[in-house]
Structure 1
Amino acid sequence: MAKRSGKYLYSIRSANGVLVENLQVYGKSRAEADEKIRQMYWRCEILSCKLVADLDTRAPNLKMQWVRPAPRAAG
């Protein structure tokens, strides 16, 4: 398992057989994310997991500036 921090998307089958999809969990690694899922859903079966947001590769630092809207003409 690779050590990649980020957001992981899971599909699981809970202990009582219910299919739960689109679970999103943050973790420093896939193993940590799996552990968090197993803490929330005891005795679950992990059907699929994929990395959806990699936190190791950060977006470029963007500078944002608020621009005041132009005044409306009376009329």
Structure 2
Amino acid sequence: MNLYWLVFDVTPDEMLFRMGCGITAISEDDAWRIAMGNDSIKGASSRIKSLKAIKLEQIDPSHILPNAGNMAIRGIWFPNGI
């Protein structure tokens, strides 16, 4: 499993994806499938700037990590609960 991060082109007042979205997936294609299977992300798909593979060390330890879901399970882990 790999960690991926979606970056969106949003304004500061748009809260849901302001910081991005974290996904655990088997591959980049799998990450796209997971993302497009989520109604909130699919609705904002025209505003996706990039999807990139990341390492745990690259994740913001002060905000993202404490608010993330389980990164060991395939699926969306940040924002938690979408």
Q: Structure 2 length as normaliser, TM-score? A: 0.45
Choose between structure 1 and 2: higher strand proportion.
1
Q: TM-score, normalised by structure 1?
A: 0.48
More helix by share: 2
